[in-house]
């Protein structure tokens, strides 16, 4: 780092005027969403310290009630449910970050880049996107998931591919309208090179949409992972909220004993909280980035 600048000098140089107020960051939805997400990240990072047992090791009798030793009891194989809940945060956050990252990377590749190149490339890739959108989402996910076998990473990648087409369509539309926009022709006319235009106009123009798409797909991806794991496509030796639900709901006597409240309810609520926190952030971002929404509400 360089030496700190003289504060008087700093005060004299006029700072570039920022755009007025990051008021999005102060909207209640955003505050709640980000706080919860922060908490989840904290739990995921410090899972080994927060968990009372190793979630994969048998540490008690089967189907124990909640006690001082096992806060949420144990499952049918004697593994600690509270620790599974804590470690499950890791899987959901992993899915919620890797899934949408891959999805949006793919969306930029087949939505934005072809739109910038234009011509036949764009027409072909658009055909492809429309075709992808027409595919039956979940049945295809289940078929592929069943065929690749119970593998955590395969599931994440399969979920990510599902997010490519919808995001590509939105981004392409925006990229096309930007390409035709007056200020971009003007920038070109004044001698702006392709990289200059890309950096100064396309990136700021598309960035917000990419951000909103990321947040939206993150919540979808978490819900999907929980759903697929629940359908029996998860890695049975792994630890995730969806798997906890799956095992819990497979117990025949589940509803006729109180274990429903400590086995099924906690992971179910955890999934809801994780999904909702991303949605809150997404809804809070939307009005600032989508002027149509502003006008209509």
Partner 1 sequence: MASYLVTVFVLITLNFWLPRAMPGDPIETLISRGSSSFVYGEESVAKLEEYYGLNGSVASQYGQYLARLARGDLGRSITTNQPVRDEVARALPWTILLIGGSLVLSTLIGLTLGVRSGWRRDRPVDRAMMTGLLAVREFPPQLFASLLVFVVAVKLEWLPLFGAETPFSSSFGPIDRVVDIGRHALLPMLVLTCGLMVGQYLVMRAGMVTELGSDYLLLGRAKGLHQRRLKYRYAARNALLPVVSLSAVEIGFAVTANVIVERVFSYPGLGQLMVGSIGTRDYPALQGAFLAFSLGIVTVNALADVLYRRLDPRTTA
- By beta-carbon proximity to partner 1, the closer residue of 211 and 249 is 249
d(CA 232, CA 249): 11
Q: Could you say which of 25, 45, 124, 146 contacts partner 1 (CB under 8 A)? A: 146
Q: Could you say which of 109, 143, 186, 203 contacts partner 1 (CB under 8 A)? A: 143
CB of 105: closest distance to partner 1 in angstroms?
23
- By beta-carbon proximity to partner 1, the closer residue of 44 and 224 is 224
d(CA 206, CA 112): 9
CB of 68: closest distance to partner 1 in angstroms?
26
92 sits near partner 1 (criterion: CB under 8 A): no
d(CA 85, CA 91): 10
230 sits near partner 1 (criterion: CB under 8 A): yes
Site for partner 1 in 258-277 (CB under 8 A): 260, 264-265, 268-269, 271-272, 275-276
Q: Which residue has the tokens 């029996």?
A: 232
d(CA 108, CA 168): 6
135 sits near partner 1 (criterion: CB under 8 A): yes
d(CA 227, CA 155): 11
249 sits near partner 1 (criterion: CB under 8 A): yes
45 sits near partner 1 (criterion: CB under 8 A): no
- Please choose, from the candidates 164, 41, 38, the residue with its C-alpha nearest in 3D space to the C-alpha of residue 94: 41
Binding residues for partner 1, how many (CB under 8 A)? 43
- By beta-carbon proximity to partner 1, the closer residue of 183 and 255 is 255
d(CA 32, CA 14): 35
Residue 224 Cα to chain centre, angstroms: 11
d(CA 39, CA 25): 17
- Please choose, from the candidates 192, 137, 143, 190, the residue with its C-alpha nearest in 3D space to the C-alpha of residue 165: 137
227 sits near partner 1 (criterion: CB under 8 A): yes
Q: Contact positions toward partner 1, by CB under 8 A?
A: 130-131, 133-140, 142-148, 219, 223-224, 226-227, 230-233, 245, 249, 255-256, 260, 264-265, 268-269, 271-272, 275-276, 279, 283, 296-297
């Amino acid at each position: 780092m360089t030496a700190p600048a003289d504060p008087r000098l700093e005060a004299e140089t006029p700072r570039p005027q920022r755009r007025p107020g990051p008021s999005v960051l102060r909207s209640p939805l955003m505050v709640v969403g980000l706080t919860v997400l922060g908490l989840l990240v904290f739990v995921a990072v410090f899972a080994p310290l927060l968990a009372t047992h190793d979630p994969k090791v048998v540490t008690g009798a089967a189907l124990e009630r909640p006690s001082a030793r096992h806060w949420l009891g144990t499952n049918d194989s004697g593994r600690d449910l509270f620790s599974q809940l804590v470690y499950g945060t890791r899987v959901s956050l992993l899915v919620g970050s890797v899934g949408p990252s891959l999805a949006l990377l793919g969306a930029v590749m087949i939505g934005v880049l072809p739109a910038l190149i234009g011509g036949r490339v764009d027409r072909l890739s658009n055909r492809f996107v429309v075709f992808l959108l027409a595919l039956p989402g979940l049945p295809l996910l289940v078929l592929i998931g069943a065929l690749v076998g119970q593998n955590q990473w395969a599931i994440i990648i399969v979920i990510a591919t599902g997010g490519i087409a919808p995001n590509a369509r939105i981004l392409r539309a925006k990229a096309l309208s930007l390409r035709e926009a007056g200020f971009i022709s003007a920038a070109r006319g004044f001698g702006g090179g392709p990289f200059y235009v890309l950096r100064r106009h396309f990136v700021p123009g598309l960035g917000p949409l990419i951000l909103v798409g990321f947040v939206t797909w993150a919540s979808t991806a978490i819900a999907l992972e929980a759903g697929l794991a629940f359908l029996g496509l998860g890695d049975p030796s792994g630890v995730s909220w969806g798997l906890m639900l799956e095992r819990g709901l497979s117990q025949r006597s589940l509803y006729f004993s109180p274990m429903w409240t400590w086995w099924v309810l906690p992971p179910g609520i955890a999934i809801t909280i994780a999904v909702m926190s991303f949605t809150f952030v997404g809804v809070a971002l939307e009005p600032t980035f989508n002027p149509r929404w502003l006008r209509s509400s």
